[in-house]
Amino acid sequence: MTTRFEKDTAVTRIADNRFAATIDEAWWVYRGPHGGYVGAIVMRAMCDAVDDPVRAPRSFSIYFLQPPEVGAVEIETTIERAGRAMTSVSARLVQGRNTAALAMAAFSAPRSAPAYADLRMPEVPRPADVAPVSMDGAPPHISFYDLRHVMGPAPFSGGREAVTGGWIRFSEPQVVDAAAVVSYADAWMPALFSRVRDRIGVPTVDLSVHFRVPVPDGALSPDEFVLVVFRSPVARDGFLVEDGEIWSEGGELIAQSRQLAAMLPVG
Listing DSSP states for 16-77 in one string gives TTEEEEEE-GGGEETTEE-HHHHHHHHHHHHHHHH--TTSEEEEEEEEE-SPPPSEEEEEEE
Say how far apart CA 32 and CA 125 lie, in whole Å: 34
Residue 122 lies inside a defined structural domain of this protein? no
- pTM surpassing 0.75? yes
Look at residue 118 and tell me if it is in a domain. Answer: no
Identify the three-state secondary structure at position 258. Answer: strand
Give a yes or no: residue 84 inside a domain: yes
Q: How many Å apart are CA 13 and CA 259, to the nearest integer?
A: 29
Give the pLDDT confidence score for residue 172 in this predicted structure.
95
CA distance linking residue 103 with residue 47, whole number of Å: 12
Note whether residue 121 is domain-resident.
no
Instruction: Fill in the amino acid letter for 132.
Output: P
Q: Is residue 157 part of a domain?
A: yes
pLDDT computed for residue 42 by the predictor:
98
Average pLDDT, the chain: 94
Residue 16: domain span: 4-110+129-265
Can you tell me the mean pLDDT for 37-58?
97
Provide the CATH number for the domain around residue 206: 2.40.160.210
Q: Is residue 115 part of a domain?
A: no
pLDDT score recorded for residue 30:
77
Using 50, 70 and 90 to split pLDDT, how confident is the model at 267?
low
pLDDT tens, position by position, 126-146 = 999 999 988 677 788 888 999
Q: 96-130, pLDDT tens digit by residue?
A: 999 999 999 999 999 889 988 899 999 999 999 99
Rounded to an integer, the average pLDDT of 162-174 is: 96
Domain presence at residue 124: no
pLDDT digits (tens, 9 = 90+) for 222-253: 999 999 999 999 999 999 999 999 999 999 99
- Amino acid of residue 151: M
Position 266 pLDDT exceeds 80 = no
Q: Domains in the chain: how many in total?
A: 1
pLDDT of residue 220: 85
> What pLDDT, on the 0 to 100 scale, is given for residue 65?
97
Does residue 120 form part of some domain? no
Q: What is the mean pLDDT of residues 144-168?
A: 95
Check pLDDT > 90 for residue 162.
yes
Cα distance between residue 257 and residue 15, in whole Å? 31
C-alpha span between 242 and 153 (Å, rounded): 16
Closest CA to 100 of 134, 76, 130, 132: 76
What number is the average pLDDT over the span 39-51?
A: 97
